[in-house]
Chain A
Amino acid sequence: MTHSADDLGRLLQAAQRGDGAAYAELLAAVTPRIRRIVARRRGFAGVGETEDLVQEVLLSLHAVRATYDSSRPFVPWLLAIVRHRLADGARRYARTIRREIDIDEIDVTFLEAEANEPIGALGDADALRAAVEALPDGQRQAIELLKLKELSLKEAAEITGTSVGALKVATHRAMAALRQALAPKRG
């Protein structure tokens, strides 16, 4: 349901008298408008940040609802609150940016040589796919369900109709076969 500016003013007057239902209706009616303004003015902000600003505007509206004068138009009153909150948000953003220091990503190293290999050097994806396809059916299914789809043992057991123990064995054997198949290629 759409509300005219006069309707919104009347709802706020009722809210000033303590009518919670009218207040909820008012806030629900103005929230999409506030959201549109915030999104337009802060196009670079993500959904979460936009929603934070919308909530700040609603909290401000709540805090200063006594300043609304029913003889004056509602919309300029609301827009002034939105404008001030957006300006505050922009100032806060500028302060945050000033305090932040850009740093390079820190390299993490581990004792195991394999763990220090860059992602691109982990292996040949095509060779891995071929090795998985070369596995016996039971082992391939176990790898696909447990390692690729990351299902639990119980879920995978229900799908395959085998026991959890059998799945564990199949996975262990598949991993050993894959390790053996890929080892020569990694040098």
Chain B
Amino acid sequence: MKTEELIDRLARDLAPVRPLPRPERRAAAWLVGAGLYVGLFVVLTRSGGGPTTDLEALLPQLAALVACVVAAGAAFASVVPGYSRAVLAWPLIAGVVWLGMLAIGATWSSGAIAAASRHEWACVLLIVVGAAPLLAALVAMLRRGAPFRPAVTAGLAALAVGALASAGACFWRPHADDAVTLVWHGGAIAIVMAVCLLGARWLLGPSRLSGTGREVR
């Protein structure tokens, strides 16, 4: 087919589309929904006493929430062509800060290895299975954009979901030691990340971007 014919056909069959809101607004919408989901879950099923007020214990959770916010923002920015790639660096920095805090806390804590060897399968289950609806909603929203680099977008989505779920799990069932959080939560997030990266092309379906698949409406 000649290019001129293609242009005629595309223009002739043109359907109106609703422009996507800015990435920040879309990220905010997802964060509000995800925050409500996690918050309600924690409040309704919380175990292990009242909420901690220890700032030292809260800091890693705060860092996780910051990582979640910037990763979600970057994930939505990554599906808009022409968006600055610099936004992709922030989640990396936030993730390193968050994990660094946990690592430092784990190093300082007494009996870190013993604490880390405790089984925390409930947290793993919460992060991997409980966060699945959050991931599904995020992926559905990201698919409306242009995921030209599906692995990058999927990795950012996994970080956003994993960080939020990890913070939620810490409020849901407070851990006495950062080593537990680092090993078990870190392991669970690694599972989510691996699933997202391996299934990135399937999850985000970039084949439609070449015009061979579903059209963005």
Query: Does B bind A?
Result: yes
Contact B210 A63 (CB under 8 A): yes
Binds B, one of A73-81, A113-121, A123-131, A168-176: A73-81
Of B82, B144, B213, which is within 8 A of A72 by CB?
B82
Which of B8-16, B28-36, B46-54 has 4 or more CB atoms under 8 Å from chain A? B8-16
**Which residues of chain B are near A24, meaning CB under 8 Å?**
7-8, 11
CB distance from B11 to the nearest CB of A (A): 4
Is chain B's interface secondary structure helix, strand, loop, or mixed overall?
loop
A46 near B: Cβ within 8 Å?
A: no
A58-B10, A80-B81, A81-B81 known; A63-B208 Cβ under 8 A: yes
Q: Which residue of A lies closest to B149 (CB)?
A: A84
Closest to A65 in B: B17
Q: What's the dominant secondary structure at chain A's contact region?
A: helix
CB proximity of A38 to chain B, nearest CB, Å: 11
Q: Mark B190-217, 1 if CB is under 8 A from A, else 0.
A: 0000000000000000001111110111
The answer to whether B81 touches A16 (Cβ under 8 A) is: no
List 29 A–B pairs whose Cβ atoms lie within 8 Å, in order of A's numbering.
Answer: A17-B16, A21-B11, A24-B8, A24-B11, A31-B7, A55-B1, A55-B6, A56-B210, A58-B7, A59-B212, A62-B215, A63-B208, A64-B81, A66-B19, A66-B217, A67-B79, A67-B216, A73-B82, A77-B80, A78-B81, A78-B82, A80-B82, A80-B83, A80-B148, A81-B81, A81-B146, A84-B81, A84-B149, A84-B209
